[in-house]
Amino acid sequence: MMGTGVDGAMIGGEAILGARGLTKRFGAMCAANSIDYHLGPKEMAGIIGPNGAGKTTVFNLLTGVYAPDQGSVFFDGREITRLSPQQRVKLGIRRTFQLASTFDNLRVIDNLRLAYYHKQRQGRCSLGGMCSADLGEVRDESIDECLEQLELSKAAHLPVASLPLGSKRKLELAMALIGAPRVLLLDEPFAGLSEMEIGQIVAMLRHRCTRRMAVLIIEHKITWLKDLVDRISVLVNGEIIADGDYQTVLDSPVTRKSYWRVE
């Protein structure tokens, strides 16, 4: 079931997303310290770590928000270290943000339509086309399906600003999924949600992502990842200190020492 560590055989074949020696410093502090990481094409993996460990920084390096000080990023066998975020999105790398990130001044459905429109038009998304395309005419089953599955159908025509945090997170996930990514990076998708909402998101991920795409989830609480992911990595002070399946990581003495601070 589980993927193996660095450079081993990945679930579904060779790694789709990889990092080699990835390093990022902010002043004197090293937020990512020579990180080697590989994600299998159909693998669902987790990253856990305490506050300020560098988890979000790793996402920012993988998605092109920051250029690394050292090291490189690979996608599908090709180096992408110098590509812009937008170019990486085109390759199929999509992410959500730690602070739920949506268009609050638009309606729920229009958020999804914008996500879908670009996907549908990929490569041919001209300004002229955008001006002449009626937003209301942007329709697709995948939009309705997402609304349905995340129980957002009733809120479809409400402005996002009026939604609670849980619905915003669900919406952001739906926007990422509508883009049919090959790699999906989720930054604390469960933070601040009720158990029921977490259940909906987990079900959605199982249904839409398992064995279909690579998913990497940052999470504080290891328990939510237990039944979801194939593999967990522990990040502390910018370094991956443990990597393996849930039980291995939980039992590993390094993790117990530096993450839970138990001897």
Partner 1 sequence: MMRLLKTYGTILLVFAGVGVLRLALPGAFLIHVTIFSIYTMAFSFLMGRLGLVSFGQPAYMGIAAYGTGLYLHYFGTNPLLGMMVGIIAGVAFAGVIGGLFVRLSSSYFTLANLALCAIGFFVFQRALVHITRGDTGLWYLGRMERWPLLNFRDPDHFLTFALIVAAGIWIVVKGLDRSVFGAACLAVKANERKLQFLGYNTYRIKWLGFVMANSIAAVAGTLYAVYFGFVSPAIMDVLRAPEVVVVGLLGGVGSLYGPLIGTFVYIAMQDLVSAIFVYWELVVGTMLVLVMMAGERGIASLLESAPRLLRMRARHDRSSAG
81: its two tokens: 């270290």
Q: Which of residues 75-114 bind partner 1 (CB under 8 A)?
A: 85-86, 89-90, 94-95, 97, 101-106, 110, 113-114
Round to the nearest angstrom and report the end-to-end CA distance of the chain. Answer: 30
Q: Which helix or strand (DSSP H or E) is residue 242 part of? A: strand 239-244
Residues engaged in binding ligand ATP (CB under 6 A)? 26, 29, 31, 49, 51-57, 98
Q: How many Å apart are CA 124 and CA 54, to the nearest integer?
A: 36
One residue of 1, 131, 196, 262 binding partner 1 per CB under 8 A? 131
Is 66 a residue that touches partner 1 (CB under 8 A)? no
**Ordered alpha helix ranges (H), 33-107:** 55-63, 85-91
Which residue has tokens 């990512």? 32
One residue of 4, 23, 34, 56 binding Mg ion per CB under 5 A? 56
Q: Report, in Å, the least distance between residue 179 CB and ligand ATP.
A: 23
CA angle 56, 241, 32 (to 5 degrees): 35
Is 124 a residue that touches partner 1 (CB under 8 A)? no
Residue 192 binds which entry of partner 1, ligand ATP, Mg ion, none, with Cβ cut-offs from 5 to 8 Å by kind?
A: none
**Which positions lie near Mg ion, rule CB under 5 A?**
55-56, 98
